[in-house]
Amino acid sequence: MSTATAGWLQAGLLVVALAVAYRPLGDYLAYIFTTNKHWRVEWGIYRLIGVNPDADQKWSTYLRGVLAFSAVSVLFLYGFQRLQEYLPLSLGFPAVPADQAFNTAASFATNTNWQSYSGETTMGHLVQMAGLAVQNFGSAAVGIVVVIALIRGFIRSRTEQVGNFWVDLTRACLRLLLPISVIFALVLIAGGVVDNVAAAHPVTTLAGGHQVIPGGPVASQEAIKELGTNGGGFYNANSAHPFENPNPVTNLIEIFLLLVIAVSLTRAFGKMVGDKRQGYAVLAVMAVIWVASVAGISYFESGQHSAAAAAAGGAMEGKEVRFGIPASTLFTASTTLTSTGAVNNAHDSLSPLGGGITILNMMLGEIAPGGTGSGLYGILILAIVTVFVAGLMVGRTPEYLNKKIRPREMKLASLYILTTPALVLIGTGVAIALKGEQAAILNPGPHGLSEILYAFTSTANNNGSAFAGLSVNTVWYNGALGVVMLLGRFLPIVWVLALAGSLAAQRMVPASAGTLPTHRPLFISMLLGVVILVVALTYFPAQALGPLAEGLH
């Protein structure tokens, strides 16, 4: 079978698998967050934390719950790493340095999973299992519950209540993430992913050399790493490591996992708002961007622009031969469009324009289909901007899902759209301006700029993948990127939950003859246009100086 045929087959299988899961998982998601029945184990948790599960919260109370939970998560994880040497299963590793512990705590609590450390040489098993993996569940659940609160804002009227954060969080973890993760951890073990609590094994190689092979609870973390669009690898090589991702089958399963919740949430959205076509419309926009990205990266990576690429049949530097180009580019496009950040190849070795697309994917705001929950609330904000633009064109008060989009809602949507570019561009500018931090750039010229731009784009958008070629394990980078991750995650959540409260307070406006239908191809194309014009062009000068300059050189 040719490489191209294998690539098409894998992409086709992936789409079929997502299509099969779409309806049942989407309906289940909607059920989880609409049913009034509590599980017995959930009652126990509510009693333990002193929560009345039947009392809904005002949007600001819900938001304070998100922030309090996340602040405690950061501090807990920070302390865990700093006390590592005193904990069991530490494998003899010392405490993680303070700046790196802060960066890692911020990273995992924000669903970013940016790693300035090498997992197998820094973290003991207990920190991996009870620290980092717990945050993989918690941070993914936070993204999901925020978009559920936003959807409630659309479907409720004349109330300020958008749900109960603690109930939603508990349900997202216990009813969704935990069971699916357990099932797929077993599937990955069957596929060859390791899972043990053993220390490193010293072995003698066939050539007589000595090598240390690190084991660990990998499969159990691999499932939630992808399912929760977290992305932090047990090993430094992430999903390029044969113990994390041994073969093309596990590779396909991992790509499926990192897409499935974000895709299915559009079904849950359509079901909860009472018009499934709304979910299909949003999904259509996501799908167009995803297909374009996969095609674009595959095109540039398959190109034989140099003697080495011509000899290898494409740009094989930094790619695993067991995956080849199609399985690498499918993973690369999916991971950078979902805020996952796991990698099965070296993004720094991508062709300039292929690498440029990965940066663009993240710059779009992780919306196609985006992170668990964060992708859907990101694209719903852009849908609001789209109906506003359409309203300006025809001189009508814009409406979306039977709610008026007034100046208050537009202020919040504008704040959302401006927050991430400000963090990315200001952060990149400051990093370049500082003399000391310039030494961290290992490649000169446009590629060096791309490396810094990638770092700030990845952290501000909570993706977490890295371009490499940039020495980020310094006090300044650990601190600055840690703050960028926290602000890039929680400021948009502030605007989204405030928007949910503002929408929930409104009465429902019946659709009239002048209402723009938001499920038709016209709206889908307009939303695509807004994504490109409003978001992508914001970053065009930075892209032009980095990947475009390098690619067109």
d(CA 270, CA 370): 17
Cis peptide before 369 (omega within 30 of 0): yes
Least distance in angstroms from the C-beta of 412 to other proteins: 7
- Smaller CB separation from other proteins, 255 or 272: 272
Nearest-10 Cα torsion for 336, 339, 340, 343: 30
- Smaller CB separation from other proteins, 309 or 415: 415
d(CA 457, CA 453): 6
Site for other proteins in 142-171 (CB under 8 A): 152, 155-161, 163
d(CA 205, CA 112): 37
- Smaller CB separation from other proteins, 102 or 388: 102
Task: Name which position in 462, 502, 518, 543 contacts other proteins (CB under 8 A).
Answer: 502
Least distance in angstroms from the C-beta of 343 to other proteins: 27
Task: Name which position in 38, 305, 322, 411 contacts other proteins (CB under 8 A).
Answer: 411
User: How crowded is residue 196: how many other Cβ atoms within 10 Å of its Cβ?
Assistant: 11
384 near other proteins, judged by CB under 8 A: no
Task: Name which position in 69, 80, 93, 102 contacts other proteins (CB under 8 A).
Answer: 102
d(CA 173, CA 231): 17
User: How crowded is residue 148: how many other Cβ atoms within 10 Å of its Cβ?
Assistant: 29
71 near other proteins, judged by CB under 8 A: yes
Task: Name which position in 186, 309, 505, 545 contacts other proteins (CB under 8 A).
Answer: 505
User: How crowded is residue 39: how many other Cβ atoms within 10 Å of its Cβ?
Assistant: 12
- Smaller CB separation from other proteins, 477 or 490: 490
Least distance in angstroms from the C-beta of 493 to other proteins: 9
- Smaller CB separation from other proteins, 102 or 467: 102
Give me the helices (H) in 273-351, please.
276-302, 307-312, 324-337
83 near other proteins, judged by CB under 8 A: no
116 near other proteins, judged by CB under 8 A: no
Distances 491 to 66, 109, 141, 383 between C-alpha atoms, Å: 12, 14, 17, 19
Task: Name which position in 42, 56, 254, 451 contacts other proteins (CB under 8 A).
Answer: 56
Place of tokens 């309090």: 68
Residue 335 tokens, joined: 């991971």
Report which DSSP code applies to 441.
Answer: B
d(CA 430, CA 460): 14
d(CA 439, CA 242): 33
383 near other proteins, judged by CB under 8 A: no
189 near other proteins, judged by CB under 8 A: no
Least distance in angstroms from the C-beta of 354 to other proteins: 34
The dihedral of CA 263, 265, 268, 272: what is its sign? negative
Task: Name which position in 7, 10, 42, 78 contacts other proteins (CB under 8 A).
Answer: 78
530 near other proteins, judged by CB under 8 A: no
414 near other proteins, judged by CB under 8 A: no
Selected range binding other proteins among 5-13, 250-258, 298-306, 502-510, rule: CB under 8 A = 502-510
Q: 287, 11 in Cβ contact below 8 A?
A: no
- Smaller CB separation from other proteins, 261 or 496: 496
188 near other proteins, judged by CB under 8 A: no
Selected range binding other proteins among 93-101, 259-267, 328-336, 354-362, rule: CB under 8 A = 93-101
How far from each other are the two terminal CA atoms of the chain, in whole angstroms? 35
Binding residues vs other proteins (CB under 8 A): 33-36, 56, 59-60, 63-64, 67, 70-71, 74-75, 78, 82, 97-99, 101-102, 105-106, 152, 155-161, 163, 408, 411-412, 479, 482-483, 486-487, 490-491, 494-495, 498, 501-502, 505-508
